[in-house]
C-alpha cells in the first residue's frame, strides 16, 4: 500500500491510469494520503485497535473499488490479479496481528 501511495505522487503513469478509470486527478492525491495514513495506523503500536480496524476496512474498500473500476472499463479478469494478491496479503496481515492487539480493550 505504501509503495502504491508513493507512486500516486511520483509516477506520471498513475495520473493517466486514474483518468483512464474515470477518476478526477484530486482523487489520486486523496487516495495516496489515505493510504499513507492507513499504513501509519497499522505500524504505530500505540494507536488503539479500532483505528487499525478502520485502516483495514479502508484498505479492503480500496481493493474492492479498484477491482470494480478495472472491470467497469472493460479490463479482463487478469487485471484483478494485483488486487487479489493485495487482498490476500491484507487478510494475512489482519489474521496475524499480534494477540495483544486483538485482545486489547484499552486506549
Per-residue model confidence (pLDDT) at position 97: 76
| C-alpha to C-alpha distance for 20 and 89, rounded to whole angstroms | 26
| C-alpha to C-alpha distance for 75 and 66, rounded to whole angstroms | 12
CA 42 remoteness from chain centre = 12
- What is the pLDDT averaged over residues 99-107? 52
Per-residue model confidence (pLDDT) at position 87: 95
Q: Domain ranges in the chain? A: 2-103
pLDDT tens readout for residues 13-22:
999 999 999 9
Q: What is the pTM of this model?
A: 0.84
pLDDT tens readout for residues 2-51:
899 999 999 999 999 999 999 999 999 999 999 999 999 999 989 998 99
Amino acid at each position: 500500500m505504501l509503495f502504491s501511495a508513493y507512486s500516486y505522487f511520483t509516477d506520471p503513469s498513475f495520473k493517466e491510469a486514474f483518468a483512464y478509470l474515470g477518476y478526477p486527478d484530486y482523487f489520486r492525491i486523496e487516495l495516496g494520503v489515505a493510504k499513507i495514513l492507513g499504513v501509519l495506523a497499522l505500524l504505530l503500536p500505540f494507536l488503539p485497535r479500532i483505528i487499525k480496524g478502520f485502516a483495514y476496512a479502508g484498505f479492503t474498500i480500496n481493493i474492492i473499488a479498484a477491482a470494480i473500476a478495472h472491470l467497469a472499463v472493460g479490463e479482463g479478469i487478469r487485471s484483478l490479479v494485483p488486487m487479489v494478491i493485495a487482498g490476500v496479503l491484507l487478510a494475512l496481515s489482519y489474521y496475524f496481528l499480534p494477540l495483544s492487539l486483538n485482545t486489547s480493550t484499552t486506549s
